[in-house]
Amino acid sequence: MKIRIDHSRRTFLKTTGILAGTAALSGLLPLRSIAAAEKELVILAWAGHAEPDIVADFERMYGVKVRAKYYTGGDNMLGLISQSPPGTFDLILSDAEYVQQLNAAEYIEPLDPADYPFDDFYPEFQHFPGHWQGDKLYSVLIRFGFLGIAYNTQQVPEAKVQSYDVFWDQSLKGKVGHFDWHLPNLGQISLMGGNARPYDIDVAHWQSVQQKMMSLRPQVGGFFDYGGTFSSLKNGQIHAMCGIGDWITGVLQRAGAPVKTVLPKEGGLQWTESYCIARKAHSPDLAKKFIQYITSPEGQVKSAKMAAYPALIPSKKGWELLNRTDPDEARRQGMVLGQRNVMDDIRDGRIKYRELPVQQSLDEWNDFWSQYKGA
């Protein structure tokens, strides 16, 4: 049975109460008066980034209101910006691979690196690819995570999830799911094929990725957005999921579900979220203050433990505070001090950045993904 479930991340979060009472998030945001702009910060972001667990302290600190328009992916983000009058948004949260597109479209402003605590960041995140154009900064990284094999620990033995080969295991026929986005799924198959840069592949390697992916199709029981991914893993409909990581399984783990994400021997992908200040923002100073707030040690701990979906954080001081205040969560996410941790996975070369395709167009990857789903 082939199932497609289209629950957006926002729809799921609304049903679980995370968006309760935030009526301003429905539809496009109204135009702001100058007086209102001085008292509010408007963010365009993935769902969860403007909820009380993240923004309440900032609102109290500055006597302002944070409002948000939530999107459901990079293409949706770009569309919302293009359809909105200049000045609609102050801050734009972007996945790393879309920052260059925001810059090329002149949707974001250059930033002063001296305004942000890069000295507190691990060296790997101080000059992050795509966030800079030469010496000009356009985006500040706030959180990241890894994509590997997500699985039900009661249904799939740990010994089987050491390789992406597990998705082809006959015992999982009809129990393999896909997070419905081509970039992470095709990236993982490219990793499996031994491509050092999984998104920078020539014609022959691209054909190989497509052939390998098509061979997985009989195993697949569904294609899911955030809510469907969450529920299908929780209720046991899906036992192993491609294209996701702890940003989903971590939420389930916190609720006691028997699921987790592992990095197989072929390695994993890294997603990254960062803040940009919108061109012609009404509240650019407030936007800068919010980036400073969320990159402070206290803000980083909030981000790591975000109710909507957890994440790793780039700040060393944030790690130290997390280990002092919530050592269990630091241990669960692998942000422990003085022993092997997630930074070692990056330094050992086990993690590759999720990117846009380099030698093919984004449309070509998208078209193949549509073909794959319809097969």
Strand 220-224, strand 136-137: pairing: unpaired
**CA 307 to CA 328: how far, in whole Å?**
16
Q: Tens digit of pLDDT for each residue in 51-75?
A: 999 999 999 999 999 999 999 888 8
Residue 11 in this model has a pLDDT that exceeds 70: no
Residue 96 in this model has a pLDDT that exceeds 50: yes
Q: Could you tell me which residues are beta bridge partners of residue 108?
A: 278
Query: Which pLDDT belongs to residue 36?
Result: 56
Q: Mean of the per-residue pLDDT values for the chain? A: 92
Query: Which pLDDT belongs to residue 25?
Result: 40
**CA 119 to CA 162: how far, in whole Å?**
36
Mean pLDDT of 160-169: 98
Query: Which pLDDT belongs to residue 24?
Result: 36
Whether residue 178 contacts residue 375, with contact meaning beta carbons closer than 8 Å, is answered with no
Q: Tens digit of pLDDT for each residue in 105-117?
A: 999 999 999 999 9
Q: Could you report how far apart the first and last alpha carbons of the chain are, in Å?
A: 13
Two tokens, residue 320: 């130290």
Residue 262 in this model has a pLDDT that exceeds 70: yes
Phi, psi of 276 (to 5 degrees): -120, 150
Burial class (CB in 10 A: 0-12, 13-18, 19+), 348: exposed
Query: Which pLDDT belongs to residue 267?
Result: 97
**CA 234 to CA 248: how far, in whole Å?**
11
Q: The whole model's pTM is what?
A: 0.89
Domains of the chain: 7-144+272-337 (3.40.190.10), 146-269+351-374 (3.40.190.10)
Q: Tens digit of pLDDT for each residue in 263-293?
A: 999 999 999 999 999 999 999 999 999 999 9
Q: Tens digit of pLDDT for each residue in 327-344?
A: 999 999 999 999 999 999
**CA 220 to CA 53: how far, in whole Å?**
36
Q: Tens digit of pLDDT for each residue in 224-257?
A: 988 899 999 999 999 999 999 999 999 999 999 9
Convert 21-58 into a string of H (helix), E (strand) and C (coil). Answer: CCHHHCCCCCCCCHHHHCCEEEEEEECCCCCHHHHHHH
Residue 154 in this model has a pLDDT that exceeds 90: yes
Q: Please give the share of the chain, as a percent, with pLDDT higher than 90.
A: 88
Of 13 and 289, more confident? 289
**CA 297 to CA 311: how far, in whole Å?**
14
Cα dihedral 166/169/171/176 (nearest 10): 60
